Amino acid sequence: MSNLKAPFLEVQGLTKHFNISHGLFEKPIWLHAVDDVSFAVQKGETLGIVGESGSGKSTLARLLLNLIRPNAGSIKFKGNDLLPMTKAKERMFRREMQMVFQDPYASLNPRIKIGEAIAEPIKANRVFEDKKVIAARVAELLEMVGLSSDVAQSYPHEFSGGQRQRIGIARALGVSPEFLVCDEVVSALDVSIQAQILNLFSELKSRLNLTYIFISHDFSVIRHVSDHILVMYLGEIIEIAQVDALFLKPLHPYTRALISAIPEPDVQNRSGKIILEGDIPSAADPPPGCRFSTRCYMANDRCRLEHPELLQYEQQHFVRCPYAEV
C-alpha cells in the first residue's frame, strides 16, 4: 500500500478491545471491536469501508476522530501523530476532521433553530466571532447543501430525513474541514433520496477538495462513492483494493458473497448468488483461526486453526485468505 507521496491519513496497527465483564472480580471478557487495522488514504480520495453489522466499522470511525482511544496503533493525519497530542493541538486538528452521522436528528437540539445548530461548531472553534459574519456563513452553508438560507429560522422537526442529512452535512462543513468521516449517512433514507445525497457528497468533494472515509453496510452505495474499498469482518480487514479491481476480481469468499448479493445487472463475473449461512460470530469470542471460517464455503481444517495474514496479491490489492480465488 505504499505511495510516492505521504498519505493524507495513515493508520497502523489500530486496535480497540472493550472490557465487557460486569463484576469487579469477574475474569475480563474482551470484545474485539477492531484488530490490527492498517491502511492509508491520499488527499482527495474516498475510502469506502464496508461490512455487516458487528464488523467494527463504526468503532473504527470513532477511533479515527479520537472520540475513543485505541489500545494500540497509530493514526497520522497530514504527517502528524494524533494520539499523543496535547488537548490544544487536538482541538486544532479536530477542526480539520469532522464526522457526518447516520441520524442527524439525534445531534440536533429540537429546541434550537437550524441556523443556531449550524453556527454552534463555528462559534465553539472560534472560526468567526462576529454575528453577522456567522449568519452569512450559515446562509452560505445551507445553499451549498441545496437548502434555502430561509430555513435557518426553522426547527429540526420541520424537515424530512433527506433535508436533515443536508443540515448535518452543512453543520460538519462549518469549520471548513479537509476530511470527513461519513458513517452510514444514507442507510435510513429512501433509495431516491440516497442518490441525491450521494451526488451532493460528490459535488462537495470536487468543490471543496475534500477527502472522505465513507462507511456503509451497503456495497452498492460504497461502490458509487469510493476510489478504494476496505472490507471488514469481525474487527479485521479481510480485503482492500481499488474499487474497479475489487468488483472485477474479488478474492476473498466474504467479498465475493457480498458482491454476489448486489441487485445490479452490471456486476461483472457474477457466478450466482452466494448465500452466507449463519450469523457473524460474537466479537467477544472470535473463532481461533480465520474469523470467517464458521460461514465460509471454502473453509477447511487449516482455516479453523490458523489465523491468516493480510497478503498482497497485486500492488494495491490485499486479502486475508491463503486460498483466495486469484
Chain position carrying cell 479491481: 245
User: Amino acid identity, residue 198?
Assistant: L
Please say if the pLDDT value at position 303 is more than 50.
Answer: yes
Give per-residue pLDDT as tens, 230-288: 999 999 999 999 999 999 999 999 999 999 888 765 555 555 788 788 889 999 999 99
- The answer to whether the beta carbons of residues 175 and 99 sit under 8 Å apart is no
Grid-cell match 435557518, residue found:
152
Question: What is the rounded CA–CA span in Å between residue 295 and residue 307?
Answer: 15
Distance CA 167, CA 173 (A): 10
- Number of helices and strands in the chain (H, E): 10, 12
- Residue 154 confidence (pLDDT) above 60: yes
Phi first, then psi: give them for residue 245, nearest 5 degrees.
Answer: -65, -40
> Rounded distance, CA 41 to CA 21, Å?
36
**pLDDT exceeds 60 at position 1:** no
Closest CA to 169 of 237, 85, 109, 102: 102
Strands (E), 174-300: 179-183, 211-216, 228-233, 236-242
State residue 89's pLDDT score. Answer: 76
- Could you read off the pLDDT of 92-143 as tens digits, one per residue? 788 899 999 888 777 788 899 999 999 999 998 888 888 999 999 999 999 9
Q: For residue range 46-86, what is the model confidence (pLDDT) as tens digits? A: 999 999 998 999 999 999 998 899 999 999 999 989 888 77
User: Three-state SS for 287?
Assistant: coil
- Residue recorded with cell 438560507: 149
Closest CA to 102 of 165, 59, 194: 165
Do the beta carbons of residue 253 and residue 296 sit within 8 Å? yes
pLDDT of residue 101: 87
Nearest CA-CA partner of 34 in 63, 7, 3: 63
pLDDT at 3: 45
Grouping H, G, I as helix, E, B as strand and the rest as coil, residue 155 is coil
Instruction: Name which of 103-112, 158-167, 218-227, 259-268 the model is least confident about.
Output: 259-268
Residue 293 has pLDDT above 50, yes or no: yes
- Whether the Cβ atoms of residue 189 and residue 162 lie closer than 8 Å to each other: yes
Q: Which residues pair with 46 in a beta bridge?
A: 212
pTM summary value:
0.91
Sequential DSSP letters for 48-96: EEE--TTSSHHHHHHHHTTSS--SEEEEEETTEESTT--HHHHHHHHTT
> What domains does the chain contain, in order, with CATH numbers?
9-85+230-319 (3.40.50.300)
